[in-house]
Structure 1
Amino acid sequence: MGNGSPSERITDELRRRIVAGELEPGTRVPSTRRIMQEWGVAMATATKVLSRLREDGLVRALPGVGTVVADRAAAVAAVPAAPAANPAPGEAPVSGAAAVSGAAAVSGAAAVSGAAAVSGAAAAGGRRGKGGERELGRERIVAVAVRVADTEGLAALSMRRVATELGVATMSLYRHVPGKDELLRLMLDKVFGEQPPPEASAPDWRTGLDGIARLQWRIYRSHPWLAATMSFTRPVLAPDAALHTERSIAALAGTGLSMAEMAQASVSLAAFTCGLAVHFEREAQAEQDSGMSADEWMDRLDDQDHDRLMADPERFPMFDALNRGPEIDMSLDALFEFGLARMLDGVGALIAARGTGSG
């Protein structure tokens, strides 16, 4: 595989397989665990390999599947593997499968540099037409950013990454979106706006709060990156997201709770839902890195370490009792159902106390 660090050599080998067509678009690439086994390296090295391939745009994370070869990898294969023997004056040689650096992307033997650089899929396909940037707008930028975050995770999102998908220079995005923080705010508002809470009042406060919490849960599941962007101490100005809080407070109107209690109950319920939903992205990343689903990981843990670690009934009497009893569903959905019911029970107890004049 040549010289360089272990991660560089493995990356070069997987890049070669992708470019050669041995790994076709949509095909799952070796997981971190498979890389560790095949090349005898540590997990940190294997993780660095997959990160480098993602940065190069050769692979992408597919929720529920793992890391797969990106569709645009075929474009990289079209780039010559070696420079021309006698490049013309002013031309930069191309080495490897492709050379992409900073704002410059190389296609064929010619180097295009500066703000007019074409990167990613647009560079190879030549799809960046004269009207490319003229067609650029905030809505299109946000839609692409959401797609990147949905498929590759929040860590893969950057202004440069979005520009690559759009086939435009990175700086052109800043005419529409000031920066990544504003981009995240717009993304948040977009995904909440696509699934607004119902306008009609629910028959009772519990039905209303239950429906809004479940709607938020579905939104977080559809966009695993979303929960990590939420803040309940420094909320962003996102009207479509704030509408959920508005409707939650409205559901509690007339229950006898004070305005402060209604607001705190609404935000606490939203924070519970969001806090649990954070694990959607963590699980997707863990599955991508390990190549194992949560169930597969638990099975492996049971086989290797669980019995040994929890074998002492004196130190872990409750775990010992759990192990001897029927299997318990500890999935995120099951935890959400249990927690939501208990949260609503608590609100109900507070409402009852206010009705009797106690508390």
Structure 2
Amino acid sequence: MTERAKLELSAQHEWEIYVEHPWVPQLFALTTRPPIAPRMMAYTDWRMRAVDGIGLDFETMVRAAIMVSVHTQSAALSLAREMHAKDTREHWLGVRSAKLQEVFDAGELTMIARFGAESVQASEPASIFEFGLQRLLDGVAELIPE
């Protein structure tokens, strides 16, 4: 398994924890200090081992491991808010469609006015998590010496 695949797998496993337990990322949001939670610390350790021996200094390995986790936690916070919402995104948008159309018709928010079903799907927390994770992993790959 490649270093990238290991980092991706660790993030996917962490994401699954947050999907099953949406309150967990909210705990991390309350502090800037890492939790003394062996199972959560295991993901950081796993990520660091995934990139050990490929030419990165230890501090870069620390940053890469934490960066993947911070991204995962951030996306999971949005997911938790969605899971606790009283209605679906579709219903929320439907109820506000007249006001949204009014804003769009003003012609000032030309990019936002282009939003459609695919754009709404692209803005879902799981989509943002996956997109961001791939970009982060692309960036880590650039750090690896030839």
TM-score by length of 1: 0.38
**Selected match of 2:69 from 270, 274, 277:** 270
User: 1 CA distance for matches of 2:43 and 2:137?
Assistant: 17
User: 2 CA distance for matches of 1:254 and 1:240?
Assistant: 24
For residue 333 of structure 1, what is the amino acid of its counterpart?
A: A
User: 2 CA distance for matches of 1:224 and 1:312?
Assistant: 38
Match in the other structure for 2:118: 327
**Selected match of 1:295 from 86, 90, 102:** 90
Superposed CA deviations along residues 140-164 of structure 1, whole A, max 9, x for unmatched, are xxxxxxxxxxxxxxxxxxxxxxxxx
For residue 132 of structure 2, what is the amino acid of its counterpart?
A: G
User: 2 CA distance for matches of 1:297 and 1:218?
Assistant: 26
User: 2 CA distance for matches of 1:333 and 1:310?
Assistant: 27
Mark the runs of 5 or more structure 1 residues left unpaired by the alignment.
1-202
- Cα shift at 1:317: 2.4
Match in the other structure for 2:42: 243
Superposed CA deviations along residues 156-208 of structure 1, whole A, max 9, x for unmatched, are xxxxxxxxxxxxxxxxxxxxxxxxxxxxxxxxxxxxxxxxxxxxxxx110000
Compared CA separation, residues 261 and 297, structure 1 to 2 (3 A): same
* Structure with greater strand percent: 1
Match in the other structure for 1:311: 105
Once the two structures are superposed, the pairs formed by residues 29-48 of structure 1 within 5 Å of their partners are none
Match in the other structure for 1:226: 24
User: 1 CA distance for matches of 2:143 and 2:61?
Assistant: 10
User: 1 CA distance for matches of 2:117 and 2:84?
Assistant: 30
Whether the aligned pair in 1 keeps the contact of 2:8 and 2:133 (CA below 8 Å) is yes
> Which consecutive aligned stretches of 4+ in structure 1 deviate over 6 angstroms post-superposition?
none
Mark the runs of 5 or more structure 2 residues left unpaired by the alignment.
none
**Partner SS state of residue 230, structure 1:** helix
**Partner SS state of residue 105, structure 2:** coil
State the aligned residue count.
143
TM-score by length of 2: 0.88
Match in the other structure for 1:252: 51
- Cα shift at 1:293: 1.4
Q: Which has the higher contact order (CA 8 A, sep 6+)?
A: 2
Superposed CA deviations along residues 4-51 of structure 1, whole A, max 9, x for unmatched, are xxxxxxxxxxxxxxxxxxxxxxxxxxxxxxxxxxxxxxxxxxxxxxxx
**Partner SS state of residue 335, structure 1:** helix
Whether the aligned pair in 1 keeps the contact of 2:11 and 2:68 (CA below 8 Å) is yes
- Cα shift at 1:310: 2.5
- Cα shift at 1:326: 6.7
For residue 293 of structure 1, what is the amino acid of its counterpart?
A: T
**Partner SS state of residue 34, structure 2:** coil
Once the two structures are superposed, the pairs formed by residues 10-159 of structure 1 within 5 Å of their partners are none
Match in the other structure for 1:345: 138
User: 2 CA distance for matches of 1:349 and 1:326?
Assistant: 34
Pairwise CA RMSD of aligned residues? Answer: 1.8
**Partner SS state of residue 261, structure 1:** helix
